Amino acid sequence: MNKITVHCTVNHKPVSVEIEPNKRLLDMLRVNLGLTSVKEGCSEGECGACTVIYNGEPVTSCCILAGQAEGADIITLEGVSVDGKPDVVQQAFIESGAIQCGFCIPGMILTAEALLMKNPHPTMEQIKEAMSGNLCRCTGYKKIEEAVALAASRM
Amino acid sequence: MKRRGTGVGCMFYGIGNTGLPNPAAAFVEVLPDTSVNVIVGAADIGQGSSTMAAAVAAETLGLAIENIHVTWADTQVAPEGGATSASRQTFITGNAVKNACTQAMGELRRTAAEKLEVPEEDLVFRNREIYSSKDETKRMTYPELMGAMSYRGRLAVGAGYYNPKTTYLNPADMSGVPYEVYSYATCILEVEVDTDTGEVTLLKCVSAHDVGTPINPKMVEGQIEGGTAMGTGFVISEKIDVDPKTLAIKNPTLSKYIIGTNMDMPEIYPIAVSSEGEAGPFGAKGLGEPALIPSIPATMAAIGNALGVTFTKTPIFPADIVKAWKDKQAAENQG
Amino acid sequence: MSKYAVLNTEFPKVDALERALGTAKYAADYFMPNMLYSGVFRSTVPHAYVKKLNLDKARALPGVAAVLDYTAIPGKNRFGIIVKDEPCLVDDKIRRYGDALAVVAAETQELVDEALELIEVEYEELTPVKSFEEAMAPGAPIVHGQTNVHAKKHLEFGNVDEAWDKCDVIVENTYSTHILSHMFIEPDAGLAYLDEQGVMNVIASTQNPHYDRNEVAAMLGIPMNRVRVKQATTGGGFGGKLDIGVQLHVALLAWHTRRPVKMVRSRTESTMVSSKRHPITMKCRTGATRDGKLVAVDVVMTCDAGAYGSYGPAVIGRAPVHIVGPYECPNVRCDAVFAYTNNPMCGAFRGFGVPQAAVCHEGQMNALAKALNMDPIELRLRNAHKVGTVIPTGQTLTESVGFTDTLLKAREKALEVMPEAMARLKTE
Amino acid sequence: MRPFDFYAPATVVEALELMHQHKENVAVIAGGTDLVLELNERKANPAVVIDLKKLKELDYIRVEEGVVRIGALTTHAAIAADRQIEKYVRVLHEACRQVGSPQIRNLGTIGGNLAQSSVAGDGLAACVTLDADVTLRSVRGERRMKLDEFLAGEGATRRNILAADELLTEVSFALPDIRHTATAFYKLAKRKSLAISVIGGGMVATVDDNGICTYARMRAGALGRYPMPFPTCEAHLVGKKLTYATMLETLPIMHDQVLEANKSRPWSVFYKKESVQGVFKKVFADVLHQLGLEEVQE
């Protein structure tokens, strides 16, 4: 097996990563780049905890091979906060009481960020639809949806 | 055909282990700059026991929640916390924190009484100030108090623990005091059932919980909302399938064990009910498990109410609904 | 002025910021220099003796640091929060699908997976016990010790047998609940290493760090203060992370390799191995007067508790105490039997048997309401616990009994937000 | 994951050559929503993985001379968001809109859905309902066929006739004339998102100016290895005035057919034979609504 070099943009900075082809984007981000906010919950594209913003869209990074990310623009939760301070979406999650165990939260926030980038003033229906690929076992989702609405109201 | 139904579910839940000792402990130190270290054994798994500990400490000491730093669940640092189970941490670790704070306040009270020249028992610690309940003009700030403490070489430290007042149960008939305090709840839930496909849509859910004293209203709501999600899923979508031959679990994945998504949730109206009591820290009681329970019987009853059928088994899956409806139609056609 | 300065006001959770920023470290997020990865070789049969376990090929694979079976355990090999009946690594026989037979540590996760595939096992299979009924049948294979009865309880309050004559209405039903999984969103994970003072450090996703400490110390045969368990940020538990998870296995591997060892269970392994909700069958007879006052409740409760005790004793202790629900009843009897089988292990799961009990007592209350043609909320109000109520253990409730308020406030809100639904409740 | 070599060709021609060269042990990846999981669980163990995601030439939705052409690399999200598909081809719009989750729809491609030929593939069920054509290319050239023919595989071992070095490049079908033709899809599933179809029922129905049915095609996914056709039901409708009552007359036929096909699994067949009728009741109501023939109250 020959190693490959993946060139892409991660959190607004160009990176090149030398990596075995049998690694997922999830592994590359967590292990090679140390971006451990990206969580592995199900390994089958089901829970959404490993969601990253990939060329502007939320995707599950457990379903992408590292090599496929060549040329991609990737944002993880580490790329959302500024100097360790929460951005408007993160702040809204904190204030709304949307965070319990927090394992789903990186994926939730990134999914919300991707929605608000494209549609800064979504309806509640659009919020629900956008957030429908992220499982949470703690909150019953209400406070999470309220947090996205609160963030949108401050956009 | 779509039919709607309503169900009621209630429960009570004894806080802590059943008829067994189950203590938990806490350490507290108020530092010279009025920041506070609170150290508890309790594992926080997202439910918020650390936040609860901070709030109880702030309330007891008369400081702000921002003044409190909580360290938890590190056995080389923190004393025994017992398990995060049985909805016990608010009640038991909360009382332990309160006890530890009360001990730390011994020196704080003595010092403040000396400075303000009032009896210790008249002192009120609230909102970063200490004053006399008899004469509110006699007051000092917390930084002033900590300055006086430093000057006198006194430390505000405390260790406390709490073990619920229970008894072992008599093995012959289970008589005794199994729990010191109980939480209560009522849930009323409305569903829409498609009799052709057995699909269930959860419409609205009111869930009222006696939590004694709410520590943090949003956390109370969050527990109730999350509990409702799990309780409704208990009835309509979740089930472990065991292979009859190997006895292995056939659906150990999130694609095959079906928990609800946000699209499956009802509109939830959580209600925190207060009740008078001295047992918990400021009267607070546990909520983690009570949050789950009443929506289970309420969902069963609501589906039954929609069809005019009584269900006594869980789960109630679409196939069960279609079957129950067809059986009912057949029985009515015969009768 | 509000009674409280802090309580019942708005303030964020103390641990929300790091979770919103993504900097909170869950167990799988820890990486250490010189760290090994690890995995567990598990049984694929439910009930068997191990005839042969060949670890040689796995040990020979370059990059493998350790392959251990039960003989490598320096201290005790029996664990469990209440009953010590579960091995760290199987030494006598396999009792369920997925029992741990050996552990592997290697330089990469891929090497761990390869080494696990090189382990060979031969089983001498035993007839598995598949249900409560099979467990209780005469001549049934025994899962543990001398009997398949895992636990028994008998609750007796008042005089149930004499009470039936005083009842105007009696309803009788059998309720049953099924096996469920916590599905906490973070699979079990942990890491162990010996620090410079020789203290065994374990960082894990857990609900129970002090218990974990005691079990790791017992397994290694060292004092409790030579083990430090630190809870990593934990992605939910709901009872499923109360039993010991990866902690013993990583500690054992770190003990032998003297290197940090990390273990992250896959979703599948995590669900396979962690405890499940007890499926309980409750045969219940409830009697009341014509004005809706409960007179007697008699319940027989049975449960297939699976292969190990786990929190079973806590569930069988709690369910009978709660079997009548938040209602006054002067005559109560409950007989409960839990059995060992070779099914997945049942244990703690949010509610400890009370959800199951609620299925029964609420089913009975609704059945009574129907039989008496009474509003179901009114029936509950008539029987509600209040200060002064004596519950079936003989305890008198003295304070903080807010049940009636929950009924009234829920009804009031429901009448406001779903009036049609409330009308349907009455006209069933 | 076992080791493999990885290639990401920039053109279809390059991809086909690579596939031909490594055909003994090659896997192609597009959305990755199936393959990466299989690799990760060591269920798929190819020596070579070829990434198709860089083949932008296969990412398109075009309507040309009354034919809708969709490139294999078009994602479910792109199809669901396409205004023309939403207006003219409801069956495909609804199917793609409900695949998995937003994240999965952003990754998963229609070509992948068809080539995987999963039992519960929603895109597949919709395309079969549309009687679509697929285009397959290899170094040997191009062939085009009906999806029905494409799916003439050997079941479990080979799901379709795609050769190891062959690429499904396009799916195409006639653009429905919505003045006379309606299409509809209903997904019955265990939850309202992140769901695998229990039944995915699709229909195409055409009526003349008098409301007489001139064409009907009904298919349902997840009832057998391939989307199940209901020829007797279709025949029952053609030539009759399309009404809800007439359409309901097909339900007993459907019931018997599903029972017959699944009778080896007694408990699951009970639910499938009953609920398939519920699924098509909703499909019928939608078709009648779109054609402006009847509003059905549930």
Amino acid letter for position A18: E
Other CB atoms within a 10 A radius of the CB of residue B81 amount to: 31
Output the domain CATH number for residue D25: 3.30.43
Chain B residues whose CB is inside 8 A of the D275 CB are: 196-198, 318-319, 322
**Same domain (yes/no): B224, B286:** yes
Is B289 one of the annotated active-site residues of the chain? yes
Angle value at C-alpha C277, between C273 and C282, nearest 5 degrees: 145
Q: Is residue B158 part of a domain?
A: yes
Chain C residues whose CB is inside 8 A of the B173 CB are: 154-157
A121-154, pLDDT tens digit by residue? 999 999 999 999 999 999 999 999 999 999 999 9
Output the domain CATH number for residue B156: 3.30.365.10
Angle value at C-alpha C365, between C364 and C368, nearest 5 degrees: 85
Question: What's phi and psi for C210, nearest 5 deg?
Answer: -70, -35
Distance from CA of A2 to the nearest CA of B (A): 32
Interface with D, mutate which of A25, A44, A53, A60 (most D CBs under 10 A): A60
With a CB cutoff of 8 Å and minimum separation 6, the contacts of A85 are: none
DSSP secondary-structure letter at C140?
A: P
Do C374 and C126 touch, CB atoms closer than 8 A? no
Strands D26-29 and C189-194, sheet pairing: unpaired
What residues make up the domain containing D283? 181-290
C-alpha C136/C-alpha A87 separation (Å) is: 60
What residues make up the domain containing B127? 24-162
Domain end position, chosen among D143, D174, D205: D174
What's the number of domains chain D is made of? 3
**Same domain (yes/no): B268, B188:** yes
Domain end position, chosen among A47, A79, A111: A79
Backbone torsion region of residue D113, taken as left when φ is above 0, otherwise alpha when ψ lies between -120 and 50, otherwise beta: alpha
Domains of chain C by range and CATH? 18-125+183-273 (3.90.1170.50), 133-180+276-426 (3.30.365.10)
Q: Is residue D85 part of a domain?
A: yes
| Peptide bond before residue B318 is cis, with ω within 30 degrees of 0 | no
pLDDT at C310: 97
pLDDT at C1: 64
Tell me whether residues D271 and B319 touch, CB distance under 8 A.
yes
Q: Is residue B104 part of a domain?
A: yes
Scanning C118-177 for CB atoms below 8 A from B yields 128, 130, 153-157, 173-177
With a CB cutoff of 8 Å and minimum separation 6, the contacts of D144 are: D133, D134, D135, D136
What residues make up the domain containing A139? 88-153
Query: How much is the average pLDDT of C264-283?
Result: 98
Q: Residue D6's beta-bridge partner residues? A: D49
Q: Which residues of chain B have pLDDT under 70?
A: none
Scanning D73-92 for CB atoms below 8 A from A yields 77
Closest of C265, C244, C248 to residue C308, by C-alpha: C244
Q: Which two tokens stand for residue C50?
A: 């191990």
pLDDT at D262: 87
C336-347, pLDDT tens digit by residue? 999 999 999 999
C229-252, pLDDT tens digit by residue? 999 999 999 999 999 989 999 999
What's the number of domains chain B is made of? 2
**Same domain (yes/no): B118, B199:** no
Chain C residues whose CB is inside 8 A of the B68 CB are: 14
**Same domain (yes/no): A110, A57:** no
Output the domain CATH number for residue A122: 1.10.150.120
Q: Which two tokens stand for residue A128?
A: 């629900």
Name the band, by pLDDT with cuts 50, 70 and 90, for residue D264.
confident
**Same domain (yes/no): B53, B78:** yes
pLDDT at D155: 55
The residue of chain A with its CA nearest to that of C10 is A95
pLDDT at C284 over 70: yes
Domain end position, chosen among A56, A79, A102: A79
Q: Residues of chain D with pLDDT > 90: what percent?
A: 93
Q: Is A34 exposed, middle or buried (0-12, 13-18, 19+ CB in 10 A)?
A: exposed
Q: Is residue B149 part of a domain?
A: yes
Tell me whether residues B65 and C395 touch, CB distance under 8 A.
no
Do B54 and C6 touch, CB atoms closer than 8 A? no
**Same domain (yes/no): A115, A50:** no
Other CB atoms within a 10 A radius of the CB of residue C397 amount to: 18
B/e letters for D30-58, b = 16+ CB within 10 Å, e = fewer, are bbbbbbbbebbeeebebebbbbbbbbeeb
C-alpha D227/C-alpha D151 separation (Å) is: 10
Q: Which two tokens stand for residue C259?
A: 């290197």
**Same domain (yes/no): D212, D265:** yes
C-alpha B41/C-alpha C210 separation (Å) is: 8
Q: Which residue has the tokens 């010996």?
A: C194
pLDDT at D71: 98
Other CB atoms within a 10 A radius of the CB of residue B266 amount to: 23
C297-316, pLDDT tens digit by residue? 999 999 999 999 999 999 99
Output the domain CATH number for residue A71: 3.10.20.30
pLDDT at A82: 87
What's the number of domains chain A is made of? 2
**Same domain (yes/no): D62, D169:** yes
Name the band, by pLDDT with cuts 50, 70 and 90, for residue D298.
confident
Chain B residues whose CB is inside 8 A of the C239 CB are: 85
Q: Is residue B212 part of a domain?
A: yes
Do D39 and A1 touch, CB atoms closer than 8 A? no
Mean pLDDT score of chain D, rounded to an integer?
A: 95
Amino acid letter for position C19: R
pLDDT at D186: 98
**Same domain (yes/no): B151, B208:** no
pLDDT at C428 over 80: no
* Minimum-distance CB partner of C11 among B70, B83, B216: B216
pLDDT at A77 over 90: yes
Q: Which two tokens stand for residue B143?
A: 């930084």
Query: How much is the average pLDDT of D286-293?
Result: 98
pLDDT at D156: 56
How far is CA D297 from each of CA B305, C287, D288, rounded to the nearest angstrom? 22, 44, 12
**Same domain (yes/no): A69, A136:** no
Output the domain CATH number for residue D200: 3.30.390.50
Mean pLDDT score of chain C, rounded to an integer?
A: 97
Domain end position, chosen among A46, A61, A79: A79
* Minimum-distance CB partner of A140 among B216, B253, B265: B265
Q: Is residue B226 part of a domain?
A: yes
What's the order of all strands across the beta sheet hosting D61-64?
Answer: D61-64, D67-71, D167-174, D133-138, D141-146
Do C252 and C70 touch, CB atoms closer than 8 A? no
**Same domain (yes/no): A68, A115:** no
**Same domain (yes/no): A131, A66:** no
Tell me whether residues B326 and D274 touch, CB distance under 8 A.
yes
Closest of B75, B50, B24, B45 to residue C215, by C-alpha: B75
Domain end position, chosen among B121, B136, B162: B162
Q: Is residue D122 part of a domain?
A: yes
**Same domain (yes/no): B123, B244:** no
Do C3 and C68 touch, CB atoms closer than 8 A? no
pLDDT at D266: 77
Helix or strand run (H / E) with residue D204: strand D197-207
pLDDT at D24: 83
Longest CA–CA separation in chain A, Å: 50
* DSSP structure string for C223-290: -GGGEEEEEPB----TTTTSS--SHHHHHHHHHHH-S-EEEE--HHHHHHHS-BPPPEEEEEEEEE-T
Tell me whether residues D39 and A43 touch, CB distance under 8 A.
no
Question: Is residue A84 classed as helix, strand or coil in its secondary structure?
Answer: coil
**Same domain (yes/no): D159, D235:** no
More confident: D156 or D17: D17
pLDDT at D74 over 90: yes
Residues of D with CB under 8 A from a CB of B: 188, 190-194, 196, 198, 267-268, 270-271, 274-275, 277-279, 281, 298
